[in-house]
Amino acid sequence: MAKRRNYRNSRANTTSYRGKSGAEARAERLTWFFLVLIFAVLQLLNQNSIGIQNWLIPMSGAIVLIGSGLYQYSNHWRVSPVTWLAGALLFFLAMLNLYFIPGRSFLGESLIVFAAVILIGLLTGET
């Protein structure tokens, strides 16, 4: 008699891009989505003259990247060093802006870090 396959377990164990589970790949794509969303929303708010703080963009990116890294690590998935380094760099830029250079906007640097994380993730398959 043939054994029945449990569809839920067989689907969870299937691999997607570069040997990752579907859930792991979704978590990484969701991280990229949140990085783009943060930048877009904060840019729209800034254009509507609501006046967001300069440190908010790098801090939001740091929270997304470090939070994503912690989530992936807690699920025993591999987390790219780029995620940790970019999160730490964005946190450093936010603290620098908050405490030492309050008038300076790190918008350009934050955008470069966001783009680098997404580009490196696309090229290597890890974020």
pTM of the model: 0.77
Residue boundaries of the structural domains of the chain: 21-124
**pLDDT tens digits, one per residue of 90-117:** 999 999 998 998 888 888 898 899 889 8
Per run of 10 residues, the mean pLDDT along the chain (length 127 residues) is: 49 54 86 87 70 83 94 90 94 93 86 90 79
CA 99, distance to chain mean position in Å, is 24
CA distance 120 to 127: 8
Please tell me what DSSP assigns to residue 101.
-
Quickly tell me which residue has 């790190």 as its tokens.
106
Give me the pLDDT at residue 126, please.
72
- Quote the pLDDT of residue 13: 47
